[in-house]
Structure 1
Amino acid sequence: MKDYHINIFYSEADEGYIADIPDLKYCSAFGETPEAALQEVQIAKESWLEAAKAAGKVIPEPKYRPVIYQI
């Protein structure tokens, strides 16, 4: 099953972690730990998808973004 890519990063300005889903415009969440941010963005994702469906919006397909390391 494909799912949406999630970025999690520390924000000094917010003094916590931000999780965002690039494929879902403006879908992001805050947490004091990376795990908390991930839990919150999962809730935000479900709300985003429900709202988009209710409004008849096109829901983007998840995109796989592999990480490539070069040595």
Structure 2
Amino acid sequence: MKIKVTVIVQKEENWYVAKCVENSVASQGKTIEESIENLREALELYFEDMMPENTNLPTFVTTMEVAL
């Protein structure tokens, strides 16, 4: 079985941190690709003993500006 998840990657100091929006599982790596691959492995372990819920719900991602 395969599911699609939404991933955010942010640079934090010398690491890239990849985080799954749907369940907050996160991982890191020295490159974007490494962080995503490490997140894939973390998600496979996360879902190892349970089936994901609501795999067909649409996700809306946007950006916004906030006045400071």
| TM-score (normalizing by structure 2) | 0.71
When residues 50 and 2 of structure 1 are mapped into structure 2, their CA distance, relative to the original with a 3 A threshold, is closer
- Two-structure CA RMSD over aligned residues (Å): 2.5
Q: How far apart are 1:67 and its partner, in Å?
A: 4.2
Q: How far apart are 1:65 and its partner, in Å?
A: 2.6
Match of 1:30 in 2: 28
Unaligned runs of 5+ in 2: 64-68
Q: How many residues align?
A: 61
More helix by share: 1
Q: What percentage of aligned pairs have identical amino acids?
A: 15
Secondary structure of the structure 2 residue equivalent to 1:38: helix
Runs of 4+ in 1 over 6 A off after TM superposition: none
When residues 59 and 2 of structure 1 are mapped into structure 2, their CA distance, relative to the original with a 3 A threshold, is closer
Which among 33, 40, 43 is matched to residue 41 of structure 2?
43
Superposition pairs of residues 1-71 of structure 1, within 5 angstroms = 3-12=4-13, 15-25=14-24, 27-51=25-49, 53=50, 59-62=52-55, 63-67=58-62
| TM-score (normalizing by structure 1) | 0.68
Q: How far apart are 1:22 and its partner, in Å?
A: 1.6
